[in-house]
Structure formats: C-alpha cells, structure tokens
Amino acid sequence: MAVPAAVELVDLALKATTAYERSDLGGRLLQTRKRLVDPDVRVLVVGEFKQGKSQLVNALVNAPVCPVDDDIATAVPTVVKHAETTTVALVREGSENGAPERIEVPAARLAEYVSEAGNPGNKAMLSYAEVGLPRKLLAGGLVLVDTPGVGGLGSAHGAATMSALPSADAVLLVSDTAQEYTGPELEFLQAALKLCPNVACVLTKTDLYPHWRRIMELDRGHLAATGIDAEMFPVSSMLRLHAAKTQDTALMDESGFRQLVNFLLNKVVAQSDDLDRRSTSHDVLSVAEQLAAGMKAELEVQQDPERMESLVAELSRAKGNADELKQRSSRWQITLNDGVADLQSDIDYDLRDRLRTITREAEQLIDDADPAEIWEQFAEWFHQQVSSAASANFVWAAERARWLAGRVAEHFAEGADILLPELRFDDEGMAGKVDPLVKPEVEKFGTGQKLLTGMRGGYSGMLMFGMLGAFMGLPIFAGAPAGIALGVKSVRDESKRQLMKRRSDGKQAVRKHIDEVTFQVGKDSRDMLRRTQRQLRDHFSAIAEEMSTSLAASVLAAQNAVKTTSSERERRIRDLKAELERIDGLATRARALVKDLGAGQPVAVGSGAAPRSPARKSL
C-alpha cells in the first residue's frame, strides 16, 4: 500500500510543526510515518493437513515457492513477500543474543528446510522461511504466510496458529472440496472472526471434485447455521498454474482466482490502505487544528480587542478541562485502571477455571489406567487441552481489551471523534508457548526386583512359620509353602504399591505442570494487559498533553495580542490570515485523502456489553 500521498502529507505536517515550534505534536506524526513506510499486509493461509495450502500460495504468486508433495507436509511457516529479486532466507528467532538469525539459502533448497521430509517436526528450530519474489500482486505490501497444517486445527499446533491471528490483516481458511466443513474448521473460523478483521474461506481443488458446488452450498449452510459471515472462494490452483503457463484467460476465469485476488487487493490491501489514509488524515487534521488554535485566538482578539477578557477566560477554562484530563483522577483514567483490574481478575479466573477442569479430567484419566502405559497418549492429549485452553483464554482477553479501549475512548471525550490506537497483542505470542508435559520418573519393577521382593517376603515367611513348626518338632523346611505364599503376596503388594506410586507421581506431574502453565500464561496475559494499559494511557495522555499545550499557547497568544498598536495589528491580522490559510491548506489535503472513502469509524469501537467468555469446549 504505502500511500505516497499520505507519507507526503505527514512530512508536510511535520515541517509545519517545526515551523510553528510545536515539536510536541511531531511525536505522533513520526509514529504515523513509521507505520506508513512499513507497508506489510499479512495474510495467513491456514487449514487442516493436506488441503492444498502451499499449492494455493504457489498459485497466487505463480511460482513454486512452497514445496508441494502428495504425502509430505509443510513443517515451517513460509512468508512470501515482495522483493526486487528472488531471495530465500531462513529465520531463527530467540537465539541467545536476542536478534533473529537470518541465513540466506539458494531458492532450490528451500524444500529441504520447510518440509517434513527435510526437517521433521522442525528439528532445525526455524521460526520461519522468508521468500522474496518480484510479483505485482505482492507489490502493494501483501505478505502471504503459508502455515504448517501438521496436527490439524484442533491440536496444540493449531492453538499456536491462533496466537498469530491478531497480528494478521486477513486469514484464508483453506479446505478442499472433497468434503464439508468439519467441527474443528468451524470452531477455528469462529475464533478467527473475533481476532481478525478479514476472514475468507477458500475451497480448493475444484478441478478434481465433480460435486464442489454441492459442497460449497453445504458449507454455506454450515456457516449460516453457526452465524459466521465470511466470503467464500472456490478455486483451483492447478487450473491457475496451467492457465498462467498457457496464457489462457478463459481457464484463468475458471480457476476462480480472479475473485480471490480481487478480494486480497480490493478488500484486504485496500482496507488496510483505507485505515492508513483515515488515521493519517485524522492525525494531520488534529495537528492542523491545534496549530491553528493559537492563531485563531490571536486573530479574534486582534479583530475585536474588547473580547479579549472573555476569550481568555474561555480558553483558560478549556485549558483547565484539558489539564484535568491529564490528571490521574480523570474519568478516562479511572475507567482504564478499573477496567484493566477487572479484566485481569476475569481473565485470571477464566484461565484457572479452564485449567482446573482439565486437571480434574486428567486425574480421572490417570485413576482409570496405569500411567506407565498411557503416558505418551495422555501427555499429547493433555498438552493439546492446555494449549487450547490458553489460546481460548487469549482470544477472549484480546476481545475484552479491545472493548475496553473503546470504552476509554468514549469516556475520554464524550461525543468527540477520538482515534483509537492500534492495539497490538502480538508482541510476544503467548498461546503457543505452553511447554509439553514432562514424564515423571517411572520406577521399574523388573524381574530381578520382583525376585528380590518375593524372596524377601518368602524368606521371612518361611522363617516365621518354620520357627513355629520347629517348636512343634517339625523340620524348619516345613515353613516353605507358607514362605512361597508370603513371597507371592509381597510381590503382588509391591506391584500394587508401585502402581499407586505411578498414579500419584503422574498426578503430581500434572498438577505441577498446570501450576507452571497458570504461572506462565497468567504472567503473559498480565503483561499483555499491562502493555495494553500503557499503550492506551500513553496515547490518551499524549492527546491531553497536546490539547493543553495548544490551549496554553492560545491563551498566551490572546493575552499578548492587545499589546500591539493598531497599524501593527492590521499587519498582524493579515499575517495571521495568511498563516491560517496555509494551515487550512494542510487540513484540506488531509480531508482530500479520505474524500473517496465512505463514512465510517476509523477503528471499530466496541460498544454495548462486554464480550462474554466463550463457551468452553467440552473436554
């Protein structure tokens, strides 16, 4: 996107702030500018295993960037973005020195790193692979992210994908037309819609399945039944690639890609473009307004010196109001602080509640079986449950935080159009960070040990009864049968004891793990909330500060105005008018930037009741 007009406008406004010595207004503009020149529009391509995600990305960019195989799946996310020449780099984050590590590799060898074959279970610990391609489609800043489908949407892996959603500008759920939507797919769609502004369903492989229209109708029915409103695109990657090869436009139409590309360019890219225009225009307008405020006050006084008193009083009152907004006791600050505190306890409760249910379930499972036998499956199940609980908690937290931001904005300036900051929850992904369960040490009850235990029991039994017999005049070996019986009994007791021990060890491991997860995820979500709080506070404080400074300047200008003589006044009025015109020009340009866009809120402000905790998945 990188709307050049918007960047120019911001530059101009920046110059104005320095010219009028209001560098305090420049900070926000600089941030806006930084956001504008980083034009990425991230589109996540997600879906179950083997639905044609990689092939879809390939067909979109018309190049075999993501390896496609009948059998082997993608293991590492592949990020495809615009570049002047084709480049391929592997990125490994979280190394010791903190900076992500980049390794350039030849394009032909990418498959070795990103597919399950060359890198099973992502042993190489790559964070993602980045492919740069010179493509017109991507030139607008579109970034396609091919995610691994390993394990399916419902698994721990799927939960990790969920945590990446808030940072995405759009999500494409890929499902092939061999069958209708499954439960996990619909669940994923529902969650995705809460976290991401654009969600579209892509139905692939329409070239292969004669009944794809039926399937599409059925899927539409499922979406309608669950109340999901998302666009649907039936496509055939194979036809698109073939059409590109043979330059066959009819075939291109049949592939269904035109609509998908249209959606990506005209809706996703354009929307983020619109958002940029709106926020830029808004920022520049507010800067222009504040720059003009002082001059307008002075102009008024110059034109009508009698009004000075009342104007100064009015301005002072306004400044007083603005100063109040800066106070910690102001209404929006209270809303924010209370809201975050509420949110923290709600989210914490939600998490604990979810994890407690899982603990109960897990303990029941351990009680019903021998942990030594089921541990592997159990650990997998447990990990998945915990991950999905953490991610559901996260989705809800993000939703609530956004809603809170809307409330704070409402209280900050009733009725006024205040731009919300873009909340980012993705600084540190959280849901994906749940570690798998550690297996407790299992005491082996081997044959040797059994023999020993048995002999110990047998020996004492034989001795006991043998001695008894000896009193009655029998040889000591008469105690042998009793010895054997006791030996068998002690072996049996010992195995029972060990099973009990395994169970209690297993439960302890579960509890310890849940404790760890509660601690870690709880800390993550607290950090996230605190970051959100800080973001909101800084944002609104900065606005209050700016307003206060502007008003102070206006008061000063109004007070100073009367000191000048009448001829000087004439000249000053002319000057001021000229300056105001210039600022007005800036404002006009800012307004022109959004002229073609329909009316609408810059950012959807949450209103109404707070979102409720989503129904827990039945475990």
Partner 1 sequence: MNGPTPALGSVVRVLLRRTIDVYRDSPNAVGWLQHNLNRFDEPLRVAIAGKVKAGKSTLLNALVGEEIAPTDAGECTRIVTWYIDAQVPKVMMYPRGVPPRQLAISRANGALSFDLQGTPVEQVDKLEVEWPSQSLRTHTLIDTPGIASLSADTSARAGAFLTPDESPSQADAVIYLMRHLHATDVRFLESFFDQGVARATPVNTIGVLSRADEIGVGRLDALSSARRIARRYRADEKIRGLCQTVVAVAGLLAQTGRTMRQHEFAALTALAELPRADLDAMLLSVDRFSRAELPDPSTGPDADTRARLMERFGLFGVRLSTTLIRQGMNDPNAIATELVKRSGLDDLRSVLATQFTERRDLLKARSALLAVDLVLTREPRPAAAPLVAEVERILAGAHEFAELRLLSTLRSGAVRLPTEALQEAERLLGGDGGSAAARLGLEPDAHPDELRAAALDAVARWQRRAESPMSGRAVSDVARLVVRSCEGVLAGLYR
Q: How far is the CB of 211 from partner 1 (least distance, A)?
A: 3
In whole angstroms, how close is the CB of 264 to partner 1 at the nearest point? Answer: 22
Among positions 238, 478, 542, 552, the unique one binding partner 1 when judged by CB under 8 A: 238
Q: Which long-range contacts (CB under 8 A, 24 or more apart) does 534-542 make?
A: 535/421, 535/423, 535/424, 536/336, 536/404, 536/405, 536/408, 536/421, 537/333, 537/336, 539/420, 539/421, 540/325, 540/332, 540/336, 540/408, 540/409, 540/412, 540/418, 541/326, 542/27, 542/28
Q: Minimum distance from CB of 239 to partner 1 (Å)? A: 6
Report the alpha-carbon distance of residue 259 to residue 234 in Å, rounded: 9
| Only segment of 79-87, 215-223, 257-265, 459-467 that touches partner 1 (CB under 8 A) | 215-223
Cα–Cα distance, 335 to 338 (Å, whole number): 5
Q: Based on CB atoms, which residue is closest to partner 1, 250 or 578?
A: 250
Is the alpha carbon torsion for 385, 387, 390, 395 positive or negative?
negative
**Closest distance between partner 1 and the C-beta of residue 183, in Å?**
6
364 to 403, contacts with partner 1 by CB under 8 A? 377
Residue with Cβ nearer partner 1 (71 or 414): 71
Comparing CB distances to partner 1, the nearer of 9 and 235 is 235
Spatial CA neighbour of 192 closest among 216, 214, 171: 171
Q: Interface with partner 1 includes 50 (CB under 8 A)?
A: yes
Residues 256 and 234: beta-carbon distance below 8 Å: yes
Helical (H) or strand (E) element with 73: none
User: Cα–Cα distance between 192 and 5 in angstroms, integer?
Assistant: 33
The 8 Å CB, 24+ separation contacts for 260-264 are: 260/60, 260/200, 260/202, 260/233, 260/235, 261/60, 261/137, 263/200, 263/231, 263/233, 264/43, 264/60, 264/137, 264/142, 264/170
Q: How many CB atoms lie within 10 A of CB 136?
A: 9
Shortest Cβ 495–partner 1 spacing (Å): 17
CB of 491 vs partner 1, minimal distance in Å: 16
Residue selected from 106, 121, 210, 415 as contacting partner 1 according to rule CB under 8 A: 210
How far is 618 from 251, CA to CA, in rounded Å? 46
Instruction: Please select the residue that binds partner 1; options are 26, 64, 151, 614, rule is CB under 8 A.
Output: 151
Q: Does 361 bind partner 1 (CB under 8 A)?
A: no
Nearer to partner 1 by Cβ, of 2 and 251: the residue is 251
Select the residue interacting with partner 1 from 24, 40, 101, 254 (CB under 8 A). Answer: 254
Say which amino acid occupies 63: A
User: Position of tokens 């759009």?
Assistant: 170
Q: Tell which phi-psi region holds residue 129, choosing left (phi > 0), alpha (psi between -120 and 50) or beta.
A: beta
Interface size with partner 1, residues (CB under 8 A): 36
Cross-strand bridge partners of residue 81:
132
Residue placing its CB nearer to partner 1 in the complex, 250 or 416: 250
Among 21, 38, 70, 104, interactor with partner 1 by CB under 8 A: 70
DSSP per-residue letters across 344-413 = HHHHHHHHHHHHHHHHHHHHHHHHHS-HHHHHHHHHHHHHHHHHHHHHHHHHHHHHHHHHHHHHHHHHHS
Q: Which is nearer to partner 1, 233 or 412 (CB)?
A: 233
Whether the CB-CB separation of 268 and 142 falls below 8 Å is answered with yes
Binding status of residue 214 toward partner 1 by CB under 8 A? yes
* Nearest C-alpha neighbor of 283 from the set 535, 18, 544, 33: 33
Q: What three-state secondary structure class fits 22? A: coil
- From the list 4-12, 42-50, 387-395, 413-421, the region that binds partner 1 by CB under 8 A is 42-50
Which of residues 32 and 206 has its CB atom nearest to partner 1 in the complex?
A: 206
Subset of 493-532 contacting partner 1 (CB under 8 A): none
Interface region with partner 1, contact rule CB under 8 A, candidates 84-92, 237-245, 262-270, 332-340: 237-245
HSE-CB at 581 with a 13 A cutoff on CA atoms is 6
Should residue 236 be labelled a site residue for partner 1 when binding is judged by CB under 8 A? yes
Report how far residue 575's alpha carbon sits from residue 569's, in angstroms, rounded to the nearest whole number.
10
Listed ranges 199-207, 358-366, 456-464, 525-533: which one lies at the site for partner 1 (CB under 8 A): 199-207
* Residue (126 or 191) nearer to partner 1, CB: 191
Q: Which of 251, 455, 485, 556 binds partner 1 (CB under 8 A)?
A: 251
* Least distance from partner 1 to the Cβ atom of residue 587, Å: 54
Residues 272-311 that bind partner 1 (CB under 8 A): none
Is residue 407 a contact residue for partner 1 (CB under 8 A)? no
> What x-and-dash track marks residues 153-192 binding partner 1 by CB under 8 A?
-xx----------------------xxxxxx--x------
Q: Is residue 60 part of the contact set for partner 1 (CB under 8 A)?
A: no
Give the range of 202-210, 277-285, 287-295, 597-605 binding partner 1 by CB under 8 A.
202-210
Which region among 235-243, 515-523, 538-546, 598-606 touches partner 1 (by CB under 8 A)? 235-243
Among the listed residues 135, 242, 531, 582, the single contact to partner 1 using CB under 8 A: 242
Q: What is the DSSP letter of 434?
A: P
Residue 59: CB minimum distance to partner 1, A:
12
152 sits near partner 1 (criterion: CB under 8 A): yes
Give the list of residues 6+ apart from residue 387 with CB closer than 8 angstroms, or none.
155, 156, 159, 160, 431, 432, 434
Q: Give the footprint of partner 1 on this chain (CB under 8 A).
A: 48-50, 70-71, 151-152, 154-155, 178-183, 186, 205-212, 214-215, 218, 222, 236, 238-239, 242, 251, 254, 377, 447
